[in-house]
Structure 1
Amino acid sequence: MVSVFRIKAPLAPKPKLREEIMKDVISQIHEWIKLVSQVGLGLIALGVIAEIVFGRGAIFGASVIGNLQQIVTDIGGENGFIGLVAILIIFAILQRNR
């Protein structure tokens, strides 16, 4: 007796195109960068709080606040105001992309 119904093998998934693979890779890299930057900002905030509470050199003997002041001074020159504005602009751009 011959069966009228045929059992079909499941169709293999369509292979991804190279562009789709690259989009996936770039998306994954973007997520990793966001995660690392969030962890970094959290660690900086923790260092600032620890230095305020426990004094200078509370985190591995380094001065987080002193290093941040040096970065602002390096970016903005002597007065540091321009450096502070530049850092605020960068921070606003990062927040806008979230």
Structure 2
Amino acid sequence: MHTTAATALPDIPYATPDLSSDRERLVRAGDHLWRVQDRAGRILGHLRIAAEPLGLRYRAERLHLATGSFRLIGAFWTADEAVQTLRYLR
């Protein structure tokens, strides 16, 4: 019988990722989740850290109000790439 073990995130919160641009800021929304806000304070989406076998991935997500669930926009190796995706996706 073959079993696979899922990679679980530790129970400690991650530090807020540093962004290279000051166009957006991250506001903690959970241990592994941040709201991405533009300079005017509008929420562009969410950034989530996900542990994968090759390392940490930064997931760009949007909240789907009708279902109350997050929709994955993409998974990236850097927080900057994930935030840039949310910046240009309207």
* TM-score bracket relative to the smaller structure: under 0.3
Larger Rg: 1
More strand per residue = 2
Q: Which has the higher contact order (CA 8 A, sep 6+)?
A: 2
* TM-score, length basis structure 2: 0.24
* TM-score, length basis structure 1: 0.23
More helix per residue = 1
